[in-house]
A and B are shown apart, each in its own frame.
Chain A
Amino acid sequence: MRAPVLPSALVLGALVLAGALLSLTRGAMEIPALDSLLAVGDALLGSDVAELAGHQRAVILELRLPRTLLAFFIGAILAQCGAAMQGMFRNPLADPGIIGVSAGAAVGAVLAIYLSPPDQTWWSVPLGAFATGLATSLLIYKLARGGSGTSVFILLLAGIAVSALAGAFIGFISYLSDDTRLRDLSLWQMGSLASADSARVWVAAFAFALLALRLQHHAAALNALLLGEPEARHLGIEVEPLKRELVLLVALGVGLAVSAAGVIGFVGLVVPHIVRMVSGPCHRTLLPLAALCGGLLLLVADIGARLLLAPAELPVGILTALLGAPFFILLLLQQRHRTP
């Protein structure tokens, strides 16, 4: 039994809004909730209604607001990338990291953390993560391309091999690092949204919009691709250019997410799967619902990351796994019971 699409989208939208409000109004510093919201209104409208001190206003506008938006956009990007990759690989359990972009991005970031002085990492880590993520996925895509098209099996195997290689490389760099860098490396690898600022939010918003528009444009083709590549070709889909664009979009999305927030696993793997179970596999509805659901999951995870051990902070990657994995296992078990 499927849930109707429009009510699902409305419920998800309302939950995202509620999550965003919670994320804005709650944190390590006690700030009245109403004034927190008014401060955002002030910033948007140029008014001065909120009764807040300067430092409180700064916490809302320069820390919580960018962080809230970044959490939503990164979650939405990761979920959309997951949905696209699962469609392309025709495997509902495929992960965006599977084509190697997460591993490749991690290599660039780790290298940047290791090589650049601590005061330069604000630009070197994102750039390194994005550049190597994109380069790795292009390399893997080239490796997997044969005479009669791209072999999904080789693409998957190449992704696994590159991930293993990247793991070894990161292990080696960690071994060489001193204590401070080792801590930075570990924290970055676990994922955090603490570095959110307006520049990162704008870039993430742009990537989110690009992915949403292009993937929705290819929704029918992605549906046809689920039948298999020969069948998609028989249905008039130009499969090779489609796959090339999908690989690039996912590389962009995941590379950007990794560079802005570190390795946040699980969102791209599980969110599309959950949405598919609730509202069916059609990409026209799957892609926007997965974006909303992914944004919501990361918002909630980030609120938890900030509040559970406040004023200390948990890496959000740990929480996404803690929140999503049991739910996912539950759904899998339910499905197993339903199908004889």
Chain B
Amino acid sequence: MLEIEQLTFRHSSGFTLCVPHLQIAPGEVRAVLGTNGAGKSTLLRLMSAEQPSRGQVALHGRPLECWRPTERARHLGVLPQASNLDFAFTAREVVALGLTPLSLGWRDAGRVVREVMRATDCEHLATNSYTALSGGERQRVHLARVLLQLSQAELAPVLLLDEPTSAQDLGQQHRVLQLACDLARERGYAVGAILHDLNLALRYAKYCTLLHAGRVVTCGTPAEVISGDNIERYWGYTPTLLTAACGRTVVA
């Protein structure tokens, strides 16, 4: 459970982000939506205490700064949008960096590393050099690393994803988000994901938070937040909302 209360952040450029209240509960996938520059990535950085801010961010009821760093790392994982790791680790070694806050024996460690690599569909890349991987493969390797870091959590872990599908092909986009949903449903993960693709948010998120110019403008179920009005007002685009045969709304 990650809870934000009265969060305020002012950037030197004048940009201000204000979030009076936001919660990501165990078992839910919450999509954070908004246009470029709305403050989504800033919000993610504040939620993971990467950037100091006014207000409080609490993980399982305890302020983030009160957690021991390794204990916090076992319960709060962040997948960055991109990583510029410039050293020739193998993909497995990059994933194994997720063992840093854990204390696993080498046999268990090997098993868990294989499991997370299989779950993120990068097991076949294990011995490849990280620097030779494609953008999408790198993103999945880092996702495996973050999942590894959360694999031994005693309480429901919180997984924050900054555009986890930005470098993925169509099939992988769905696999990555389906994995997030499965983790939320089966293991009680609280997932917060910044998404640009509204159709993915409609399909996989349980709740959505829409940011605009540093303010939360609306929160609710995907159907409530991703409405024709909201898309027109905040994205400046008049969408066609279709209803698929399965009953799901599609933004075109």
Contacts and interface: CB of A to CB of B under 8 A. Distances in A.
Chain B interface main SS type: mixed
Contacts, number: 72
Interface in A83-124: 90-92
B88 interface: yes
A188 to B, nearest CB: 35
Given A235-B98, A236-B100, A226 B77 contact: no
Given A223-B97, A224-B97, A280-B93, A234 B87 contact: no
Chain A interface main SS type: loop
Nearest to A227: B85
Given A227-B83, A237-B100, A280-B90, 18 more contacts: A90-B86, A90-B87, A226-B87, A228-B80, A228-B84, A228-B85, A234-B76, A234-B77, A234-B146, A235-B73, A235-B101, A236-B70, A236-B74, A238-B69, A276-B88, A280-B88, A281-B89, A282-B93
Interface stretch (B46-54, B186-194, B204-212, B219-227): B46-54
Contacts of B52: 147-148
Interface in B97-114: 97-98, 100-101
Nearest to A286: B87
A230 interface: yes
Contacts of A233: 49-50, 69
A236 B97 contact: no
B72 A281 contact: no
15 contacts: A221-B100, A227-B83, A227-B85, A228-B83, A228-B85, A230-B45, A233-B49, A234-B73, A234-B76, A234-B77, A235-B97, A236-B71, A236-B101, A276-B88, A281-B87
Interface size class of A (residues with CB under 8 A): 20 to 34
Given A92-B86, A224-B100, A237 B69 contact: yes
Interface of B: 45, 48-52, 69-74, 76-78, 80, 83-90, 93, 97-98, 100-101, 131-132, 146, 149
Interface of A: 90-92, 147-148, 220-221, 223-224, 226-228, 230-231, 233-238, 276, 280-282, 339
Contact of B100 (A147, A220, A228): A220
A318 B80 CA distance: 45
Contacts of A282: 89, 93
B69 A230 contact: no
B9 to A, nearest CB: 12
A204 B192 CA distance: 52
Greatest chain B CB density within 10 A among A91, A92, A276, A282 is at A282
A237 B98 CA distance: 12
